């Protein structure tokens, strides 16, 4: 599946390409507006005219038409007959509540704190400092923003569940997900493997949310949820520890602290699974700019992880790469 954006990224001259790349941000913005107006939800039951959509969303009819026509050219929505729009395969994932929905991810990118940080990228690159002193401290103090972040991460996790086909958990007894967010990933693993036990470790407010997610799935009888500061210690034992999208937020020094704490919690024959988008891919490089704006961390390459693991007393034993740049790095003591 492809969005119809090729004309934006190719041209006769370098200037055409640069202008296309720069203007592409309006596509992002148009998608964010579509989500804020819940257009994909209104189109869930079938095509609607722009008049009906304007009435339902409270938007200005002519402006809404211009937005919908722009998005339809890209492949998000379709103008099935003049002034009448339907869902497209791409816009389907902008609906709320569908299994592969990424609506919450778009909501996060559209939120004030996210736009503000990205808008201050120049300042961050000039100074070398992120726009927030303590990203997760900010989230703890702003529960509404944290809720948006956690929903977005859960949406990203649902997309990443396909990675589970590539990992063999058969020899594991206890699987810990450190910085495991609201428990979406661990819930899926424990549901697929009814003989495994789980540990979900995260900051107290996030762990509380995970208790609800795992409780609703009736998994708390074989899954412990622990409040931790992973920079200090991990008070549990496991033979498989997962760190998914966690290390990217931290400096090399802090990554070594986290890895050493994981090593101390792992049984002798245990293994660590680091799941990250590597900075050698375009998506990883874009994520790298995001963490540059918000945290002291960075996206990394395979050899960076190899070095950090060695510095923490572990060694890299395998790497599985998925087409999106998302990779699973296996390490052992
Ligand atoms: C980018 S999120 C990734 C969440 C989840 N693993 C995923 O892939 O969606 C990073 C997670 O690390 C947690 N975290 C941040 N600082 C932490 C700390 N000091 N100790 C434990 N968890 C922490 C956050 O609350 C958040 O859930």
Tens digit of pLDDT per residue, the chain (333 long)? 889 999 999 999 999 999 999 999 999 999 999 999 999 999 999 999 999 999 999 999 999 999 999 999 999 999 999 999 999 999 999 999 998 999 999 999 999 999 999 999 999 999 999 999 999 999 999 999 999 999 999 998 888 888 888 899 999 999 999 999 999 999 999 999 999 999 999 999 999 999 999 999 999 999 999 999 999 999 999 999 999 999 999 999 999 999 999 999 999 899 999 999 999 999 999 999 999 999 999 999 999 999 999 999 999 999 998 877 899 999 998
pLDDT of the residue at 236: 97
- What are the residue ranges of CATH 3.40.50.150 in the chain? 161-332
> Regarding the domain delimited by 6-94, which CATH topology (the fold level of the hierarchy) does it fall under?
Arc Repressor Mutant, subunit A (1.10.10)
297 CB less than 6 Å from ligand 1? no
pLDDT of residue 3: 92
Determine the pLDDT at residue 317: 97
Burial 87-110 (b: 16+ CB within 10 A, else e): bbebbebbbeeeeebbbbbbbbbb
d(Cα 308, Cα 52) in Å, to the nearest integer? Answer: 56
* Model pTM score: 0.92
231 Cβ inside 6 Å of ligand 1:
yes
| Topology at the third CATH level for domain 161-332 | Rossmann fold (3.40.50)
Distance 201 CA to ligand 1 centre (A): 9
Atom of ligand 1 nearest to the CA of 177: 6
How far is Cα 287 from Cα 281, in angstroms, rounded to an integer? Answer: 10
Cα 199 to Cα 224: distance, rounded to the nearest angstrom: 5
Which of 146, 203, 229, 290 to probe ligand 1 with, by most ligand atoms within 8 A of CB? 203
Q: Cite the residue boundaries of each domain of the chain with CATH code 1.10.10.10.
A: 6-94
């Amino acid at each position: 599946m492809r969005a119809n954006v090729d004309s934006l990224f190719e041209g006769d001259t370098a200037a055409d390409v640069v202008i296309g790349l720069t203007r592409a941000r309006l596509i992002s913005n148009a998608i964010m507006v579509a989500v804020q107006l819940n257009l994909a939800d209104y189109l869930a039951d079938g095509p609607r005219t722009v008049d009906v959509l304007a009435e339902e969303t409270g938007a200005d009819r002519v402006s809404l038409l211009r937005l919908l026509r722009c998005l339809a050219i890209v492949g998000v929505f379709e103008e099935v007959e003049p002034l009448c729009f339907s869902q497209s395969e791409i816009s389907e994932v902008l609906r709320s509540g569908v299994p592969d929905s990424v609506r919450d991810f778009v909501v996060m990118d559209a939120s004030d704190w996210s736009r503000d940080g990205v808008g201050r990228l120049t300042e961050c690159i000039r100074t070398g400092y992120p726009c927030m002193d303590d990203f997760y401290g900010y989230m703890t103090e702003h529960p509404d923003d944290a809720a948006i972040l956690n929903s977005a991460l859960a949406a990203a996790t649902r997309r990443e569940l396909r990675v589970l086909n590539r990992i063999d958990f058969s020899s594991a007894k206890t699987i810990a997900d450190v910085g495991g967010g609201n428990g979406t990933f661990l819930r899926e693993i424990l549901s697929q493997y009814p003989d495994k036990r789980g540990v979900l470790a995260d900051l107290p407010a996030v762990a509380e949310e995970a208790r609800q997610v795992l409780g609703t799935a009736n998994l708390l009888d074989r899954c412990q949820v622990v409040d931790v500061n992973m920079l200090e210690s991990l008070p549990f034992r496991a033979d498989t520890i997962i760190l998914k999208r966690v290390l990217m937020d931290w400096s090399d020094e802090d990554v070594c602290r986290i890895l050493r704490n994981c090593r101390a919690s792992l049984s002798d024959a245990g293994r660590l699974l680091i799941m990250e988008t590597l900075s050698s891919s375009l998506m990883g490089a874009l994520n790298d700019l995001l963490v540059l704006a918000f945290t002291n961390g960075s996206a990394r390459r395979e050899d960076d992880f190899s070095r950090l693991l060695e510095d923490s007393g572990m060694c890299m034993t395998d790497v599985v790469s998925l087409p999106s740049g998302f990779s699973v790095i296996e390490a052992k003591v």
